[in-house]
Amino acid sequence: MRLRLPEERPTEPPTGYKIAHPVLSQDGTRAGFTGVSLGGALPYGVLADASCVYGLRHGAPHRRCDCGFHCVHDRTTAEALLCTAEHRAAVLLEVVVLGRYIRFERGFRYARQRVRTATAGPCACGAVAAALADAGWGRPGWRVLAPSCAGCVRGRTSVSLAAFARLAGDGLRVVAAAEGARPAAAGSDPSAAGSLGVPELVAEAALLQARLDWFQTQLARLGEPGGRGGRQG
């Protein structure tokens, strides 16, 4: 006698929370995320289907496998994962659980998801993030990004939060946590995904100013006597 799990028929897709690392394609034209544990080698987009990370041909999620996307029910539980050293630079995702799913006590394992909101934590210096900058590691064809303030971006490959949302597409909203902390539940109105408010515009301006200051510093150094661009005697 086989035990059958109860089937749910919700009136609307469930919502869950997880953490992930934001990624930028090598050519800078695409953005997405990569997981922090199982399946971390397979970057995914805002709207994505799960597959078995072991290469098996069954559909995900399978009852006798641990494949599929994973998320937890409670936002606070997901935020707690960001306290570990290896996950400090990850971002918090609010996702919509789509397709088939298996419900557990603390969350879901499921077949398809849409990332609704990504919340970037503070820069390593503690300031509010204005951009997502090269974290110094990645996957083949993808650079992993980390939250950065305008002053710490310097010459690293980076994109503003709004630019990352545009590259990722599919209505993604990217917001910055408050200085030294991550905010309470962020709004997720899809109609606001393509518009820039005052905070986003201020962050864009700060990022551009920081880049300009950095380039001016480099140009000044090149013009100094003995610099690589200086006049030889």
Query: Per residue of the chain (233 residues), what is the pLDDT tens digit?
Result: 566 667 778 888 999 999 999 999 999 999 999 999 877 888 999 999 998 877 788 888 888 888 899 999 999 999 999 999 999 999 999 999 999 999 998 999 999 999 999 999 999 999 999 999 999 999 999 999 999 999 999 889 999 999 999 999 999 999 999 765 554 333 434 444 444 555 566 666 767 766 676 666 777 777 766 655 544 44
**What pTM value is reported for the model?**
0.75
| pLDDT score recorded for residue 36 | 93
- In a 13 Å sphere around the CA of 188, the CA atoms on its Cβ side amount to 18
Which residue in 145, 163, 154 sits closest to 203, CA to CA? Answer: 163
In this structure, are residues 171 and 193 in contact, taking their beta carbons and an 8 Å threshold? yes
d(CA 198, CA 40): 34
| pLDDT score recorded for residue 96 | 97
Residues in the chain: 233
d(CA 202, CA 196): 10
Sign (positive or negative) of CA dihedral 167, 200, 98, 92: positive
Q: Which of helix, strand or coil describes residue 31?
A: strand
49: Cβ contacts below 8 Å, ≥ 6 apart:
99, 111, 112
| pLDDT score recorded for residue 94 | 98
| pLDDT score recorded for residue 186 | 39
User: Residue for token digits 């919340």?
Assistant: 119
| pLDDT score recorded for residue 184 | 39
- List the structure tokens of 121: 């934590």
